[in-house]
Structure 1
């Protein structure tokens, strides 16, 4: 049985019409767009949906997020990344989260995501102090239940955290330094073996809707053999290799201090760049870095809301576009942006880059933003042959908006209103692989109220543990504050942010 959506306004994001809405009908068979045109076949037994007064577009791809931060939503403010990480990614005292709580956390994250129009998640999952298969199984199980599409990582840091930033270790008490450096860490071989098993374990999960990806945390946080090995393994499995690079000015200083060059150039030298590589953030890149990323066909996931909240800086949007670097859009984690909802990210991306230069012809456009939220994210996730646009042969991952709402009143340019006016309140249906996972604002696959009730019951214990861990990690704050201010005042030859007093 097929589903036919008749006479809707459709944003296809294909090469012909892009983000310009056109009146089209869509025939969906076996989870795939079978036909799309002015007219399509209708057969006995088909479910026919009246598309008049509806806008249909590809589902959004959240090209960089961390579901594991969901339980820390709304806990922190006015902390730059390196200080915020002391509490959200604790160096000391973290206890393994039980798989049932990982599953609950992931279910709630997926529910909030799909309700806002996200049909694909690039979820960079990290567990403290380390990840095991029981925890990773719980994430896959949750996403399978909700029906979302996802790349799900084993995130790894295999250097002592105090040795991933410059200066700080020399300003900490020696007993604290010794304790951190004595913490067991995975070797490159351990991580690559884990990832090989993950590829085997999750192959074909949910008919290919769920995939494992590699996620070495960053070039300053992982050994060279792990970075190069992860790149090679990703190519072997045509999987995404997801790496945090040049998110902050501190990381620009780190590259110079650790390697005598930029972090992008270091990755190139060790063989850790490929068409399967996605850089999360990529704010403090030089012109030479951008040329290198274009040469290797590397994608960048842009996270404007998180970058603003953490004061990290503004990514060079126009320079990336001019160089031909593919951009996706990400929400980042729920502790650094406090939401997994991508409509807020689209609007932020469309607005932020209008204040970076006076030449209005170089400002970000709604078409570019929608392209990043769909095709760009699909390309970065290595899913571009399956999703990102509405075309015959691609998966039926799509959104249906009601045009009889205030957000679309009066009806002018629907693509602009989708970016600037709509916040998710007009979203009526969300489809993933032809299956309706949201209908009239309600998730159809799981019991949202039961999930919320379970979290309410468990929250006092969760928050008590968060308080304990945060208190233990205040020992690092003074040294990291000094390190942050020292780096902020240094000249790295790139200006992406004014910074605190004394910063260049």
Structure 2
């Protein structure tokens, strides 16, 4: 039997109506939208959802996040990225997380994502000190249980972390330099073999909801053969290749000092750019870099909340749009933004760029922000033909909001209120593949209370583990802080603290 949403206010995000609300009915069969229009077929036995006083939208797409950080929510503040990584991704003394903790962490992240209207996540899963096949399987298993749609990565760093930053080794004790450089790293071929195995085991699992993606961490953190090989393998499997590029001013300095060019130029020169590539962050790019991005069809995930908290700068929103670059929106991880709630990111993206240029013609438009939160994120995830808009033939990932709530009272421009007014309290239902996975704020697919109880019981030992790592890695704080201050004295081609 089919599901019919009857006579609702609908934001389709399609090429015709875009973010403009229209009155529509929608018919869904076997998880696919089969009709959408003023009227649709209703047969005996169909389930009909009355659309009166309801807003129906596409599910939100979180185009860049890290579920590892779900265990670090609210833990750190006032740290620039390079110092923050010492604690959120410690390089000294960390043992692999057991699969049961990985499973709990992933379930927690999926639950909060779904209950806030995020139906698709691009989860750049970084396990420290490295990702095992069983850890990766635990993430996929958790996401299969919850019903979320996800791209899940094998995130990889194959250069010693202290060698990915400028200046810092001169201020580190010799024994720590030896320790970090002595840590095992994978070769490019080992990572590509791991990824081929992961594709065979997990890609397009759960009826196509779950996909594996390549994730070479960043140009400075991976060898050129790994970067180029991951790019080629992503194209071979029609998968996303997710790379952190020029997130901070320090990284712009690293590019100039260690590579003699920008990182975008470097990636172009080693054949590590393609339409399958997504840059996470993409802040400290020059105008010519953005030309290269546009020429190669690269997408960019914009993460303003994380960038603001870490003081990283602001991506050049209007320049990207003017040059035709597809933008998605991402929360980044729960240690750098403290939330997987994409509507918070959408509101910050709509607002923060209004103070970077006095010309209101350059400010983000609500339709652009909503496109980044839906269709743009879907395209960056290689899912543009599958989700992101409400159209015949696409999977039925959609949200139903109650329009009688305070957030939508008085009822005005619904697209504006979705971005600026709604805080999640109006969300009534969340559907993925035509299946109701959230009903009045509660996930329906897993035992929410049991999972949270299990996590609460585990948190004392997790917190003890985190505290020990903080203390152990704190020895690196002052050398890294000195490196950060030294980087501020070096010129870079652009000023992206102004966006």
TM-score normalised to structure 2 length: 0.99
Aligned to 1:151: 151
Are 2:115 and 1:122 aligned? no
Distance between the aligned counterparts of 1:210 and 1:368, measured in 2? 27
State the partner residue of 2:199: 199
Q: What does 1:259-270 correspond to in 2, within 5 Å? A: 259-270=259-270
Question: Once the two structures are superposed, what CA deviation does each residue of 1:114-162 show, in whole Å capped at 9, x if it has no partner?
Answer: 0000000000001111111111010000000000000000000000000
Q: Report the alpha carbon displacement of residue 202 of structure 1 after superposing the two structures with TM.
A: 1.0
Alignment of 1:85-234 (within 5 A): 85-234=85-234
Count residues in correspondence: 499
Aligned equivalents of 1:293, 1:498: Cα separation in 2:
21
Post-superposition Cα deviations, 1:279-338, rounded to whole Å, max 9, x if no partner, equal 000000000000000000000000000000000001100000000000000000000001
SS in 2 for 1:396: coil
- Matched ranges for 1:403-422 at <5 A: 403-422=403-422
Identify the residue that residue 396 of structure 1 maps to in structure 2: 396
Shift of 1:203: 3.3
Give 3-state SS (helix, strand or coil) of 1:436's partner: strand
Q: Secondary structure at the match of 2:213?
A: strand
Paired residues of 2:314 and 2:498 also in contact (CA < 8 A) = no
CA distance in 2, matches of 1:415, 1:213: 32
Alpha-carbon distance between aligned partners in 1 of 2:308 and 2:105, rounded to the nearest angstrom: 25
Instruction: Give distance in 2, aligned partners of 1:413 and 1:232.
Output: 45
1:351 is matched with 351
- The equivalent of 1:502 in structure 2 is none
Gap runs ≥5 in structure 1: 500-504
CA distance in 1, matches of 2:201, 2:5: 37
Moved segments of 4+, more than 4 Å: none
Give the secondary-structure state (helix, strand or coil) at the position aligned to 1:312: coil
Q: What SS class does the counterpart of residue 102 from structure 2 fall into?
A: helix
Q: Does the residue aligned with 2:119 lie in a helix, a strand or coil?
A: strand
* 1:66-115 Cα shifts (integer Å, max 9, x gaps): 00111011110000000000011101111111101100110010000000
2: CA distance between counterparts of 1:193 and 1:498? 42
Cα deviation code 1:152-194 (max 9, x no counterpart): 0000000000000000011111111011100010111110000
Write the mapping of 1:326-341 to structure 2, written as runs, cut at 5 A: 326-341=326-341
| Cα RMSD (Å) | 0.8
User: Equivalents in 2 of 1:80, 1:52: separation in Å?
Assistant: 47
* Whole-angstrom CA distance in 1 between matches of 2:327 and 2:48: 36
Partner of 1:20: 20
Which whole-Å CA distance do the structure 2 matches of 1:325 and 1:254 have between them? 25
Q: Distance in 1 between matches of 2:3 and 2:200?
A: 34
Deviation at 1:489, TM superposition (A): 2.5
- What is aligned with 2:82? 82
Query: What SS does structure 1 have at the residue aligned with 2:333?
Result: coil
Report Cα offsets for 1:230-285 as digits up to 9, x if no partner. Answer: 00000000000000000000000011111100001100000000000000000000
* Partner SS for 1:278: strand
Task: Provide Cα deviations, 1:465-499, integer angstroms capped at 9, x if missing partner.
Answer: 00111111111111110110111222102011179
Q: TM-score, normalised by structure 1?
A: 0.98
Structure-1 residue corresponding to 2:4: 4
| Counterpart-to-counterpart distance in 1, 2:404 and 2:123 | 34
Q: Who is 1:248 aligned against?
A: 248
Q: What CA distance in whole angstroms lies between the structure 1 residues aligned with 2:494 and 2:450?
A: 49
Distance in 2, matches of 1:233 and 1:301, equals: 21
Give 1:268-307 correspondences, 5 Å limit: 268-307=268-307
* Other structure's SS at 1:371 match: helix
Measured in 1, the distance between the counterparts of 2:35 and 2:154 equals 37
Give the Cα–Cα distance (whole angstroms) in 1 for the partners of residues 276 and 49 of structure 2.
38
Alignment-derived partner of residue 65 in structure 1? 65
SS at match of 1:129: coil
Task: Structure 2: give runs of 5+ residues left out of the alignment.
Answer: none
Structure 1 residue matching 2:142: 3-state secondary structure: helix
